[in-house]
Amino acid sequence: MKSSTKTILLWVVLIVLFTAFYQLFSNNPPRPEGNQDSSNVSWWVVLMVIAIVGGLVGYSRFQASRPWRKQYDAAMKAFGKGRFAEALELWTQSYEKTPWRPTVRFNIASARLNLWQLARSREDLMESLKLGEKAQQAALPYLVWVQVAFIDALEGKLADSRAATDKAGTSKDVTLNVPILTQAVLDVREGRLEQAQRSLRSSEMRQITGTLGELVRVLDAFCTFLATGEVRHVDKVALFQEAAPDELMRAWPELGAFLSKAPQT
């Protein structure tokens, strides 16, 4: 049913109910003492109408939220299974229905990041931060700045990455492995290859899945190449999946040159 049709029906129902209740109360016989308290009747009518309106509006919002929630949950499942393009599409549809929800916009940014859409991911992250300020979501700034720091590191904006890390600070409520990966990227870019490989081979890094998890293994092979010239096999299919490789390759040309040489696993 179209929203305009729902609005018209809602007003028709309200008018009918208002008329019915008004007639019901206005036809009451006068009190024995001959002094009917019409103000009490009026207040009862007002309160009844408010209750009805509140109930109908609440029900309408609940009905509107059902497709949003269904799409949101489906996107979460798709994201968890590594289907990032599907998750992005579903979260985008959810956001069109509820553009005031910072969590949805943040999830859109996360999906874009896993598709290596770095610039648009940063835009979505900053927009989610603005929405989060209005919604007073305390953990969101940490989550946003952690991912911004990672994007900056991938793009070679090392000072900006460290500044974003400082803005993120720490969180008692959220534990992420992305800051360790960000530091590993900085170490690789600045030539601290042994330190980078220690981080990349840590248990924390093995917990990362999806395209970011594959980046961990690619960076490990990249460190070996930079240190010894050995070109190892890498899984470029798993690294990019549904994503176009162009933006990541442009952001880090040296890594792109290595990937063009490395044979597919």
Residue 169 or 136, more confident: 169
Q: What is the pLDDT of residue 96?
A: 92
- Vertex 180, ends 250 and 78: CA angle to 5°? 70
Q: Which residue has the tokens 């470029």?
A: 236
Mean pLDDT over 144-155 rounds to 98
When pLDDT is averaged across residues 20-36 and rounded to a whole number, the result is: 54
Lowest mean pLDDT among 65-69, 189-193, 257-261: 65-69
Q: What gap in Å lies between CA 88 and CA 243, rounded to an integer?
A: 12
Taking the CA atoms of 7, 11, 16 and 18 in sequence, report the sign of the dihedral they define: positive
Q: Please answer whether residues 88 and 79 qualify as being in contact, where contact means their C-beta atoms are separated by less than 8 angstroms.
A: no
pLDDT tens figures, 214-246: 999 999 999 999 999 999 999 999 999 999 999
Residue 171: predicted pLDDT: 86
Residue 13 gets the label, from left (phi > 0), alpha (psi -120 to 50) or beta, of alpha
> pLDDT digits over 90-112, tens only?
999 999 988 999 999 999 999 99
Strand partners, 234: 264
Q: How far apart are CA 186 and CA 193, in angstroms?
A: 10
Distance, CA of 1 to CA of 85 (rounded, Å): 29
Instruction: Check whether 261 has a pLDDT greater than 80.
Output: yes
Yes or no: say if 208 and 216 are a contact pair by the CB < 8 Å rule: yes
Q: Residue 48 CB: number of other CB atoms within 10 A?
A: 17
Alpha-carbon distance 141 to 132, whole Å?
Answer: 8
pLDDT of 135: 74
DSSP 8-state class, residue 191? T
* pLDDT reported for residue 73: 92
pLDDT of 138: 81
Mean local confidence (pLDDT), 145-170: 97
Q: Which residue has the higher pLDDT, 182 or 48?
A: 182
